[in-house]
Amino acid sequence: MARNILRVVCFVLGVSVFFGSIAYAQSDPINSDAISGYGLRNLQNAVVIQATPAIPSAGDSVHFSVEGSVYDFSKDTITWTLNGKTIASGVGVSSADATVDSKGDTLDVIVDVSDPTWGDASNEITIVPAQMDILYDAPSYVPPFYRGRALPSAGGTLNLQAVARIVQGGTTLPNSSITYTWSRNGTVLGNLSGRGKSQISIDSPALYGADTISVRASANDDTLSANASIVIPSASLTLKLYEDHPLFGVTYFNALPATIPAQSEMTVAAVPYFATVTNLYDQSLQYAWLLNDSPLLASSTKRNEVTPASNQNTAKLHLDVTSSDNFFLSASGDWLFQFGNSGGSTIKNPGASDVFHSDTL
Amino acid sequence: MSNLKKYSTVIIVVLICLLVTAVGGLAGWLLVLHSNGQTISFESAMRGLGLNTPSAGQNGSNYDNIGGGAPNGNLSTGSANNGPGGSNAAGINGGDASNIYGSGSVDVGVGADGSESSAASANNANGTSSSSATVLKAPRLWHVTKTPVAGFTFATSSPMAYFVERATGYIFTADEMSGDILRRTNTLMPKTYEAYVARDGGAIYRTINNTTGAIQTFSGIVGSSTSQNIGTVIGANLPNNILAMDANPDSKSIFYVAQSDNGSFSGYTTPWTEGKNGKQTQVFNLSIGSWRPFSLTDGRLMILEKPQDDAMGYAYQITSTGSLKPILRGAPGLTFLPLSNSDTYVFGTSENGALTLYAQSNGTTYALPVKTIADKCTWAPYAPATKKKPASDIVVYCAVPSSADSKNFLQNWYMGAMHTSDSWWRMDLTTGKSDQILEAASGGSELDVIDPAVDPTGNFIGFRNNVDGSLWILRINK
């Protein structure tokens, strides 16, 4: 009998302790000291960032939200950082928005969460938008070793190259998986567009005009896409005159000015930058030289070169450059030679500037 | 009577002695004439052998031929200044060398540093050899050549620069300390428009075929060249019509752009094996050819779409798979200069007639306090962090135009239609400090800087003056 009474008492006490524990737990759900003892506090990656859309394009808005199973974000202090700058911060700020710039630059987003119980947590996500670059140049004439770009001029050809970067699942899609749709001034160039067609050649913009070239790259049944556009002006034919020095060759580093001090004679070479030819001796190019208003014969092999000489102190040199294939190609220039000078060559008299005797150096 | 006989005998003996002496002397004279005659005949036959190259020494006579050589008076001045034992008094170069290549090697003691100048003068007055590394005879701003050079580089083994003369393709050395100029090769490579020079003096020559207009590239190596001997350049041709190239003397690699048979443009790399044509590897293929390649010491390959004012420019790194990894995108009039062993670079923009220079380091972009283009900048030697040493400061030197008032600065400058007068600036991207180290038009010289480079010690900047293509070397510290 006593044993049964003891069993009942133990049972009642056990039940009381069990429910008492539950009641205590209900009154203080989680003790921060306790979870700290278990190493569960300040878990850095206990939160995650969700981005929508996951692969945006240039100009798209992206919505970021923070998620975590044990956090009560409505009570937490949350800070959002985009590319090193804080864009949102405060209690309960569980989401933020950002816009991909027109270049489609990468978005690097960091969220920091501070919870009184679970401590601090953070996470980072890098969004690589679908990017598109449009590169261009032209098969127009520029001299060897020219450091600038060969530009398209009227009547010529314009080369375009699209460089698309669409990342899916951490892998950049190959060019063959991307469909390119090219348009010029809003008109789709259907015959030049298609899968893998990232390179096209079209007519240059009209004289003094400019064309807006756009391209859209899409993949994965059009669920992924990127766009870009560029305004390309028509370049003017630029005529420059250089000395063709017997020792140094054509001195491309120093274009001759309108008035040229020269010794007895000087061989000069005309260079029509951005002419719609690939070499200066193209038969379609015509050089009409005048020396003191009289025709001047150029070299038979180098029609862009003449050697003006005169018995007078000065000589006027005039050049018209035209093309039989492209009547937009036209340029002219006038230069005045002043003979009898010590200069003329771009190579200065060695004694002309002597910095070695300067006390300031 | 007996005395007379006695005297006669003495006289006869004396006469016989005189006769013997005369005959002996005559025989000796004949021997002298004979031997001298042989010498004269030998010298006549061998005249010129062993003599220095006449008139212009081993450095050549181009400059006299073009009217660029200084008058003879300067020769005596040079000798007088250096005094006996001075390296410029005679030596390998001959006297004219000091006149041909700037006056730096002549004008002892005119540098900015007064103490150094005084010491140099004193030493030379006493006939001290100029080989001492502590004696600076070259001025702080040294006009090394007065005629165009095709390219240059600094040596790593000694404080000197190798450069290639544009007119002849001859390779010279310019001693940054003594100011001595020494010709190292005698192989004529006329009209070398562009050259890349290795740290040991080998060179890649680029010229234009006079008949076809094709761009020809030749990789040369100096057969043998010492301080006393001039070497011959031998080598091999690289492919024709290389549109643009970069050759890194440290990584010994060449990166170039050429047009493919199908009309597209490809980038190729090949080892820079001096004098040989290495196996080329295609690293990219695109439809446009306006690229400027960069071959970095750390092995990275980068390309920049050739700049044009207001036109969007792009810079990419070529990955191992041949894809384009963007570095800079859509910047107007973009110029670019990357730093090896670092993610740092400087870049410039040219938009609406305004130049702006930026630096990007550790993901942060800074606007630099100078208005110039990256083409006029160069990096100081940089050492990344190791276990034993922290990284060195990241320092860039830039030449800054006094005025860059042009709507199309890049185009006009690239065409040679405008020139600038530059000052030199030092900008430390680690500390954020910037200083002007040389004012514009110092000493009356208008310096339009192009192709600058810092020597491996970080003490000298070499560059060409785009006004005339001449070579200059600036000692950074006063």
pLDDT digits (tens, 9 = 90+) for B173-189: 999 999 999 999 999 99
Indicate the range of A203-217, B2-16, B135-149 predicted with least confidence.
B2-16
How far A276 CA lies from chain B's nearest CA (Å)?
A: 15
How far A72 CA lies from chain B's nearest CA (Å)?
A: 34
Q: Give me the pLDDT at residue B465, please.
A: 97
Amino acid (one-letter) located at B54: P
Cβ-in-10-Å burial (0-12, 13-18, 19+) of B114 comes to: exposed
List A323's β-bridge partners, or say none: A285
Most B CBs within 10 Å, among A101, A108, A135, to test the B interface: A135
**In this complex, do B193 and A144 lie within 8 Å of one another by their Cβ atoms?**
yes
Judge whether residue B159 has pLDDT over 80: yes
Q: Give me the pLDDT at residue B463, please.
A: 98
**In this complex, do B66 and A247 lie within 8 Å of one another by their Cβ atoms?**
yes
List CB contacts of A316: < 8 A, sequence separation 6 or more: A290, A291, A292, A293, A334, A335, A336, A337
β-bridge pairing A77-82 and B395-401: unpaired
Average pLDDT over residues B87-96: 32
pLDDT digits (tens, 9 = 90+) for A192-234: 999 999 999 999 999 999 999 999 999 988 888 888 999 999 9
Of A161, A240, A350, the CB nearest to B146: A350
Judge whether residue B54 has pLDDT over 80: no
Judge whether residue B207 has pLDDT over 80: yes
Indicate the range of A289-303, B107-121, B220-234 predicted with least confidence.
B107-121
Judge whether residue A324 has pLDDT over 50: yes
Of residues B89 and B278, more confidently modeled? B278
Average pLDDT over residues B283-304: 96
Judge whether residue A360 has pLDDT over 50: no
Judge whether residue B94 has pLDDT over 50: no
Most A CBs within 10 Å, among B65, B113, B287, B442, to test the A interface: B287
**In this complex, do B288 and A147 lie within 8 Å of one another by their Cβ atoms?**
no
Residues of A in contact with B143 (CB under 8 A): 353-356
Judge whether residue A312 has pLDDT over 90: no
Indicate the range of A284-298, B26-40, B197-211 predicted with least confidence.
B26-40
Cβ-in-10-Å burial (0-12, 13-18, 19+) of B386 comes to: exposed
**In this complex, do B287 and A159 lie within 8 Å of one another by their Cβ atoms?**
yes
Q: Report residue B283: phi and psi, to 5°.
A: -115, -20
Of B411, B419, B468, the CB nearest to A347: B468
Average pLDDT over residues A177-186: 96
Indicate the range of A265-269, B77-81, B304-308 predicted with least confidence.
B77-81
What ipTM was predicted for this assembly? 0.76
Q: Give me the pLDDT at residue B4, please.
A: 65
Judge whether residue B413 has pLDDT over 70: yes
Average pLDDT over residues A251-276: 93
* Residue in A closest to B293 by C-alpha: A147
* Residue in B closest to A104 by C-alpha: B329
pLDDT digits (tens, 9 = 90+) for A72-81: 888 899 999 9
∠ CA A320-A325-A329, nearest 5°, is: 40
pTM, 2 dp? 0.76
Average pLDDT over residues A9-36: 61
Alpha helices in chain A (DSSP H): 2-27, 32-37
Q: Give me the pLDDT at residue B326, please.
A: 92
pLDDT digits (tens, 9 = 90+) for A33-62: 666 666 666 676 788 999 888 778 777 889
Q: Which residues 17-76 on chain A approach chain B with CB closer than 8 angstroms?
A: none
**In this complex, do A254 and B467 lie within 8 Å of one another by their Cβ atoms?**
yes
Judge whether residue A174 has pLDDT over 80: yes
Judge whether residue B67 has pLDDT over 50: no
Residue A301 Rama label (left phi>0; alpha psi -120 to 50; beta): alpha
- Asked if B342 and B384 touch (Cβ cutoff 8 Å), the reply is yes
- Alpha carbon distance A178, A160 (integer Å): 16
**Rg (chain B; Cα; Å):** 30
H or E element in which residue B24 lies: helix B2-45
List CB contacts of B160: < 8 A, sequence separation 6 or more: B154, B173, B174, B175, B176
Q: Helix, strand, coil % (nearest 5) of chain A?
A: 10, 45, 45
* Residue in A closest to B325 by C-alpha: A165
Q: Which residues 93-152 on chain A approach chain B with CB closer than 8 angstroms?
A: 102-105, 131, 133-137, 144-151
Mean predicted lDDT score pLDDT of chain B: 81
**In this complex, do B363 and A84 lie within 8 Å of one another by their Cβ atoms?**
yes
Judge whether residue B347 has pLDDT over 60: yes
Judge whether residue B119 has pLDDT over 70: no
Rounded alpha-carbon distances, angstroms, from residue A47 to A59, A73, A121: 28, 10, 7
Q: A19: pLDDT confidence band, cut at 50, 70 and 90?
A: low
Judge whether residue B92 has pLDDT over 50: no
List CB contacts of B266: < 8 A, sequence separation 6 or more: B257, B258, B259, B260, B282, B283, B284, B285, B286
Residues of B in contact with A254 (CB under 8 A): 416, 419, 466-468
- 3-class DSSP assignment, residue B243: strand
- Asked if B258 and B268 touch (Cβ cutoff 8 Å), the reply is yes
Q: Give me the pLDDT at residue B122, please.
A: 31
**In this complex, do A144 and B208 lie within 8 Å of one another by their Cβ atoms?**
yes
Q: Report residue B4: phi and psi, to 5°.
A: -60, -45
